[in-house]
Amino acid sequence: MKKIVVLTGAGISAESGISTFRDSDGLWEQYRVEDVATPEGYAKDKALVLDFYNQRRRQLATVKPNEGHRQLVRLEEFYDVQIVTQNVDNLHEQAGSKNVLHLHGELTKARSERDSNLIVDIGYSDIHLGDKAPDGTQLRPHIVWFGEAVPNIEPAAQLCEVCDYFIVVGTSMNVYPAAGLIHYVPRTSPCYLVDPKAVTVSRNITVIQEKAGTGVKKVVDELIELAKK
Ligand code: OAD
């Protein structure tokens, strides 16, 4: 089977009711990114940051995957599909995608403040001040904040290096290293981009300027036709 890598961002979850990051004046659900998505913000006010992610997690418990997530699952009958997502929600998994690599962490997990490899599943529960990881340190959200390392970027780059097709859905391609993954894709592998806004990408790419709910289906239909030939 040929290999497809799909890089997704906040836009694929927009039609499920989750806000994107850069479509509302640089604020994320009324908070400044520096306050809630940096180690400095966490050091300054842990309670505020824990509460912020508790709210995101509670919201996640109430939303469902949309047509964009679901269409990607159809590809698995014909291709070896790997989703690489910048999203911290679990909507790809809920839709049924088998291989999902999270670059920026996962809301339904928490980790030790001291050991980033000590990760625990918390489902949709809140994290409170005083909740401890198995090593006795405060639990923090399993989220990659700005200024922190992105451990999954290496396996993601390796997947991109050998993919036959690359699909980008709903990301402004503003945040590195995720936005740089496209440069690992072989020049001979066709790339597609689904986004209602014009997104600048410095390589030859087929653009479907539509929302994920309709745009992803067009790419998926085309790739399934190609696989059947
Ligand atoms: P952005 O908010 O930067 O970009 C969202 C993209 O989705 C934009 O290009 C929108 O035009 C597009 N979009 C909006 N509605 C859409 C829809 N219905 N269908 C398809 N696309 C739509 O979000 P990301 O690129 O994901 O990091 O942001 C990257 C990272 O920056 C995030 O993972 C997060 C953030 O700060 C961390 O939290 C570490």
pLDDT tens, 190-223?
999 999 999 988 889 999 999 999 999 999 999 9
pLDDT of residue 75: 98
Which residues are 81's β-sheet partners?
Answer: 4
Encode pLDDT of 40-79 as tens digits: 999 999 999 999 999 999 999 999 999 999 999 999 999 9
Strands 3-8 and 165-169: parallel
The verdict on the CB of residue 6 being under 6 Å from ligand 1 is: no
Nearest-CA residue for atom 26 of ligand 1: 9
Report the CATH number that the domain containing residue 152 is assigned in CATH: 3.40.50.1220
The verdict on the CB of residue 23 being under 6 Å from ligand 1 is: yes
Rounded to the nearest angstrom, the distance between the alpha carbon of 118 and the centre of ligand 1 is 28
Is the Cβ–Cβ distance between 134 and 107 less than 8 Å?
Answer: no
Task: Indicate the number of domains in the chain.
Answer: 1
Note the pTM of the prediction, 2 decimals: 0.96
CA distance 81 to 48: 38
Active site residue 92: no
Interacting residues of 50 by C-beta distance below 8 A, sequence separation 6+: 126, 127, 128, 129, 140, 141
Residue 137 has pLDDT above 90, yes or no: yes
Rounded to the nearest angstrom, the distance between the alpha carbon of 108 and the centre of ligand 1 is 20
pLDDT of residue 200: 87
Domain residues for the domain of 186 are 3-228
CA distance 113 to 118: 9
Nearest-CA residue for atom 30 of ligand 1: 175
CA distance 100 to 119: 17
Rounded to the nearest angstrom, the distance between the alpha carbon of 69 and the centre of ligand 1 is 15
CA distance 103 to 134: 24
Strands 139-143 and 119-121: unpaired
CA distance 145 to 44: 14
The verdict on the CB of residue 15 being under 6 Å from ligand 1 is: yes
The verdict on the CB of residue 175 being under 6 Å from ligand 1 is: yes
Nearest-CA residue for atom 2 of ligand 1: 21
The verdict on the CB of residue 18 being under 6 Å from ligand 1 is: no
pLDDT of residue 25: 58
| Burial class for 208, CB neighbours closer than 10 Å (0-12, 13-18, 19+) | buried
The verdict on the CB of residue 14 being under 6 Å from ligand 1 is: yes
